[in-house]
Structure 1
Amino acid sequence: MEQIQEAYDALAIEFAASNPKSKAAYDIATKCLPGGNTRTVLFYEPFPLYTERAEGCHLWDVDGHKYVDLLGEYTAGLYGHSNPVILKAIQEALKRGLSFGSHHADEARLAQLIRDRFSGIELVRFTNSGTEATLMALAAAKIFTDRSKIMVFEGGYHGGGFLFKSGPHPVNVPHQFLMAQYNDTASVDELIAANGEDIAAIIVEPMIGSGGCIPGTPGFLAHLREKATEIGAVLIFDEVMTSRLYSGGGVQSELGITPDLTTLGKYIGGGMSFGAFGGKADIMSTYDPRATSTARKGASVPHAGTFNNNVLTMAAGSAGLENVFSPDVARTLHGRGDDLRNKLNSIAKGTILKVTGCGSIMNIRFIATPPEDIHNVRDLEGQSTLLLDMLHLYMLGQGFYMARRGFIALSLELTATELDGFLEAAQGFLRKYATLVSG
């Protein structure tokens, strides 16, 4: 540990010396923002970089350094930073006016495109983030079932008010949560046996995202579908991150496992603020403003949001799904991600660097456990976060921008040139710090 700390300290000193303008910008930010920050995930020591501009798959910071963007805005940046189709759609929308305060054709256009992609969505409503989508989906589930408890999974993340590490987070929305273990059907069955009649919803990421890119097994996800049906609970797939996988219809469409509700976000807004939730018509009718058409007796439930159908998101999102991210393009990107992950694991043989994930979303970590034996967050105990910090600073020094926690999300703008360069940089890290990463 002492050797790793010394190596990290040396990288941190080098980083600080190379980025004086970012340090100055950060110091200014600390005077008006708590810790200079308004989005926790973007903070890292010794201080975060400040980006000046972006184009294609590249970023330029205020000190003039150029980076290959491998973070992809945590999956929201699928189209890169300057896709001409997306930019044209936004520019044309701007010409028509910033905000209407009324219905417009692009909202139904985007809704239909989403419905066509996702096997489990009959009706959909828009929000401004994945967090909001989760809030409204869970509200619908509780109202529809007239039950109160929500089953979640350790390591899961469903937005800013839904963090589940070793237990519920203090900022969490105060639902009655029951926490099971991911990819562990026995833990699910145990909670159902004790609480089945009170469970309104089972919400799950088909691949745990921020918890480390751990895919759910088909058998586990199918078991959740079976049990939710058995007890009359609403099965919710959080596909905010995984919606881009396979042919762009998410895990549900690939596996043929149909959830009752789905939450979406990230790239589907074309780079604009976006969230959505959708699913079975009888559940979604909870929010139908025509009171007599709802599945419930009496008035419908209101769902507000000034920017739910904002013109920029609706236009950019529709253009992206309609003209850029076709199922064939999605398949190609998925395969490119699988190839990169396999190559990373191959060059790291004999070390503790491991990569998990699915398609274009992956997570690097330093742990002795083989990727195929990582089934939930408990299998990540013992990983070295300090080595991850080292890798992050090292890669920034080599011109590659990724998340501090080792998270990578590929964009459509990345080519073999950038990905091969990243593989070469990863090999350089493993060679330079061979004694620290030896398996």
Structure 2
Amino acid sequence: MADGSRPNADLDAAIAEAEARYSAANPKSKARATSAAQVMPGGNTRTVLHYTPFPLAWGHGKANRLTDLDGHEYLDFLGEYTAGLYGHSDPVIQGAIGKALGDGIVLGGPNRYEAQLAEAICKRIPSIELVRFCNSGTEANLFAIQTARIMTGRDKIMVFEFAYHGGVFYFGSHGNPLNLPLNWVKGRYNETEYTKDLIAQHGAELAAVLVEPMQGSAGCLPADPAFLKMLREECTRRGIVLIFDEVMTSRLSPGGCQALVGVKPDMTTLGKYLGGGLSFGAFGGRRDLMERYDPYRPDSIGHAGTFNNNVCSMAGGVAGLTQVFTPEEATRLNALGDQMRDRLNAVARRHAAPLQVTGVGSLMNLHFVKGPVRTPAEAHPSDPALENRMGELLKLFHLDMIAAGIYLARRGFVALSLPMREPDVARFEAALDEFLATRGALVKSALG
């Protein structure tokens, strides 16, 4: 094209118009952001919830609907980054948590719920023979890593580029200064031969390989079966603990993503929805690894945490896993997600748009890219200018979807909740169709 700056100028103008419309429509959210910034840096205490010009602030939620401070209602396709699996008002879970509150909180000892939740998890997740609770997925991954280091006597931990395993375990392109200074070895997700060679190089020093069976934060990138099979074989051969981070992915089948892919890790970490919507984390696995936490043993590993067995998360978790997120409901919701992803990709093909929707079951991510997306390198190109334009397209899409009454993550991430039904999917599909009909030429020109 003759004027290479023109697409960028058009995109910038479209975003400026969308942001002005957004600001005018949401004065109370804007005022909240301004006020909050007086006592919190940027008015924020959870970075992923921030987006420009300011984030919507919520007044209340019901089922799969959210209402912001200005009274606008949205279909919630973010699902609290997978933690909101049950929606915002499931009566079974609300009743269980209400009873737990009524019976007294912070009891300072074992309660009636924790063993019930442990039993339900052990029955559902193939790799978990014994389990312990904590307060977040971040903690779960920390404890699993330390378990592997203690039990193997080794120091190095293999993770994968662009992986996210919690607030102190983020391995994106720019890293994270908050990451714990462990002895990391970085593999490349879905690059089987490269990673196999790297394991061979460091194998005698590797305590664990920590991997998501679908990379979530990187853009809902499913693992190739051959990649996971190689990890399992190499870890078995070399005495390395294979840890599946299923904090996000345990919802993808009745037995988690590991049951879906047919690969059994040595340990599994959990979090998100399994506390019934309250703070929760868990780590578990092979009996011989987890038995070291038995306090009756003279060589037991101490594992503290004031709220590890808090009654509200335990009660909500039991009710959710045994009465609400049944195997049948897990199958239904993930089938709906597979159908939605297929329908969105069909919309993109119909418009000949450079848009790909990746994921598994009820989790998916939209990517403004021309070709298929299988690896993080394909989702996050090394060309800074191209990556910036992709990010700007997601910003415009996010603002337009909000204007259409649909809420999702700025990065294009979508997580379905159990209240979702086909008409909700159809509404998202129609909004995407409208976006591509209106903005399609701009999208194509921005990506060259």
TM score, norm. by length of structure 1:
0.96
CA distance in 1, matches of 2:309, 2:403: 41
Shift in Å, 1:168: 4.4
**Does 2:426 align with 1:420?**
yes
Q: Deviations over 1:271-322 (max 9, x none)?
A: 0101000000111122221124xxxxxx211111110000000000000111
**Does 2:311 align with 1:311?**
yes
**Does 2:215 align with 1:213?**
no
Mapping 1:18-417, distance limit 5 Å: 18-166=25-173, 168-246=175-253, 248-292=254-298, 299-349=299-349, 350-371=352-373, 374-381=374-381, 382-383=386-387, 384-417=390-423
- Give the letter for the 2:130 counterpart: L
CA distance in 2, matches of 1:380, 1:22: 31
CA distance in 2, matches of 1:235, 1:12: 45
- Give the letter for the 2:179 counterpart: N
In 2, are the aligned partners of 1:211 and 1:377 still within 8 Å (CA)?
Answer: no
Q: Secondary structure at the match of 1:305?
A: coil
Q: Deviations over 1:189-228 (max 9, x none)?
A: 2222221110000000000001110000111111100000
Q: Secondary structure at the match of 1:230?
A: helix
Shift in Å, 1:182: 0.3
Q: Relative to structure 2, which stretch is displaced further, 124-133 or 378-387?
A: 378-387
Q: Secondary structure at the match of 2:203?
A: helix
In 1, are the aligned partners of 2:78 and 2:413 still within 8 Å (CA)?
Answer: yes
**Does 2:17 align with 1:15?**
no
Aligned residues: 430
Q: Deviations over 1:209-263 (max 9, x none)?
A: 01110000111111100000111110000000100002x2112122321101000
CA distance in 2, matches of 1:260, 1:391: 40
- Give the letter for the 2:436 counterpart: L
Shift in Å, 1:377: 3.5
In 1, are the aligned partners of 2:369 and 2:379 still within 8 Å (CA)?
Answer: no
- The answer for the alignment partner of 1:432 in structure 2 is 438
- The answer for the alignment partner of 1:295 in structure 2 is none
CA distance in 2, matches of 1:193, 1:253: 27
CA distance in 2, matches of 1:168, 1:13: 32
C-alpha change, 1:163 and 1:318, in structure 2 (3 Å) is same
- Give the letter for the 1:119 counterpart: P
- Give the letter for the 2:18 counterpart: L
- The answer for the alignment partner of 2:4 in structure 1 is none
Shift in Å, 1:339: 0.4
Shift in Å, 1:376: 2.9
Gaps of 5+ in 1: 293-298
Shift in Å, 1:54: 0.5
Instruction: Give every structure 1 segment of 4 or more consecutive aligned residues whose post-TM-superposition deviation is greater than 6 Å.
Output: none
CA distance in 2, matches of 1:345, 1:103: 49
Shift in Å, 1:53: 0.6
Shift in Å, 1:167: 6.4
Q: Secondary structure at the match of 2:217?
A: coil
- Give the letter for the 2:249 counterpart: T
Q: Secondary structure at the match of 1:150?
A: strand
Q: Relative to structure 2, which stretch is displaced further, 117-126 or 281-290?
A: 281-290
Q: Secondary structure at the match of 2:179?
A: coil
CA distance in 1, matches of 2:339, 2:329: 15
CA distance in 1, matches of 2:233, 2:376: 21
Shift in Å, 1:378: 4.2
Shift in Å, 1:76: 0.4
CA distance in 2, matches of 1:215, 1:417: 26
Give the aligned CA root-mean-square deviation in angstroms. Answer: 1.1
Q: Deviations over 1:90-138 (max 9, x none)?
A: 1111111011110012100000000000000000000100000011000
Q: Secondary structure at the match of 1:105?
A: coil
In 2, are the aligned partners of 1:154 and 1:167 still within 8 Å (CA)?
Answer: no
Q: Relative to structure 2, which stretch is displaced further, 273-282 or 162-171?
A: 162-171
CA distance in 2, matches of 1:54, 1:167: 35
- Give the letter for the 1:28 counterpart: S
